[in-house]
Amino acid sequence: MAIPQTIKHQRLAFEQFLEALDEDTRAEWVDGEVVWLSPASDVHESLCGFLYAMLRIFAEQHQLGRVLVAPFVLRLTRSERAREPDILFVKRENLARLKATYVEGPADLVVEITSPESLLRDRGEKYAEYELEGVTEYWVIQPEAKRADFFVLNDGGWYERQREASEGIYLSTVMEGLALPIEWLWQPPPLAEALKRLNLV
């Protein structure tokens, strides 16, 4: 069931927030309060579904770890917040962070696909929170603007924007061996074709 009306405007502990969620609820926990997320657009859902399937198969075949898709909670212990990234990845050696309904502490990779409503949050609040928490790699994808920014933590713990390794290709730091054609973010190919180009079939 959805979060009851009686507690929607109350301050909740993290455990209360988790107990109130169901599998269909899109919400985050910020400063003890529930923040509701807007319904996703068709463009958002199409891109998220494509990336999730591709990244999950890539991670499974290379035995890298687990890829999860929203709604799944990422608990940020340093800022005491809980976010629902569009996609997150936890490396095999960090799978102890994966609980039944949430990830405790930093994921290794977080992907946020922006909407006009979420743009400032994804590029501002979440950028700062993920950096503070130690999320190694952060992708911010803006379908409407056809812009993708890829950030990786440096040795000082600050995000640095990554450049394309070659024209139109981004090489992931965390998902070793992943060479992502950036054009796929604007025009996702059929999944079978993408898997073939990544030598996954």
Burial tier of 179 (Cβ tally within 10 Å: 0-12, 13-18, 19+): middle
- The answer to whether residue 34 sits within a structural domain is no
- The answer to whether residue 18 sits within a structural domain is no
- The answer to whether residue 31 sits within a structural domain is no
Confidence (pTM): 0.84
Q: Give the range of the structural domain holding residue 81, as residue numbers without chain letter.
A: 40-197
- The answer to whether residue 127 sits within a structural domain is yes
Closest CA to 71 of 61, 60, 84: 84
At 158, the amino acid letter reads W
- The answer to whether residue 45 sits within a structural domain is yes
d(CA 70, CA 23): 9
Q: Which residues of 7-22 are buried (b: 16+ CB within 10 A; e: fewer)?
A: eeeeebebeebbebbe
CATH number at residue 60: 3.90.1570.10
Q: What is the pLDDT along the chain (201 residues), one digit of tens a residue?
A: 455 544 555 677 777 777 776 666 677 767 667 776 666 678 889 999 999 999 999 999 999 999 999 889 999 999 988 899 999 999 999 999 999 989 999 999 999 999 888 888 889 999 999 999 999 999 999 999 999 999 999 999 999 999 988 889 999 999 999 999 999 999 999 999 999 999 998
Report the number of distinct structural domains present in the chain: 1
- H/E stretch holding 150 reads strand 147-153
What are the pLDDT digits (tens) for 68-121?
Answer: 998 899 999 999 888 999 999 999 999 999 999 899 999 999 999 998 888 888
How is residue 107 written in tokens? Answer: 């994921």
